[in-house]
Amino acid sequence: MNDDLKRACSCCGEEKEVSVAASSLGAFSFAYCADCLTAGVEPYGALVSYIACAGNYPDDINPRWLDFIKHNLEFYDKTEEQFKNDVKEANEEMNQHFRQMASQTKNQGIDF
């Protein structure tokens, strides 16, 4: 146990004493300061990626997540419009990535 563990909180980004805890978004952990743990928020970028993988926001999103997202947006001082754009951007990046992988696979086929 190191009581002096100070690093940037994955949520608010401040250098504070943090605890590493399992994220409610999946099987990974982030560093949370006491304030963010209490607030029950997740790192904004992780939330965007998570929702982007789930589908279109808000249509494809389970209603129980909508309140959680709203809570996070309030914490990060973001509007729903900003969040929608961020999710869209993340989706486009992902699609581009998959397209790229697909074309690379095709090229490998031609080389054989």
Q: Which residues bind Zn ion (CB under 5 A)?
A: 9, 11-12, 33, 36
Q: How far is the CB of 112 from Zn ion (least distance, A)?
A: 51
Q: How far is the CB of 107 from Zn ion (least distance, A)?
A: 44
Of residues 47 and 91, the one with the C-beta less far from Zn ion: 47
Q: How far is the CB of 70 from Zn ion (least distance, A)?
A: 19
Is residue 71 exposed (0-12), middle (13-18) or buried (19+ Cβ within 10 Å)?
middle
Of residues 9 and 48, the one with the C-beta less far from Zn ion: 9
Of residues 10 and 91, the one with the C-beta less far from Zn ion: 10
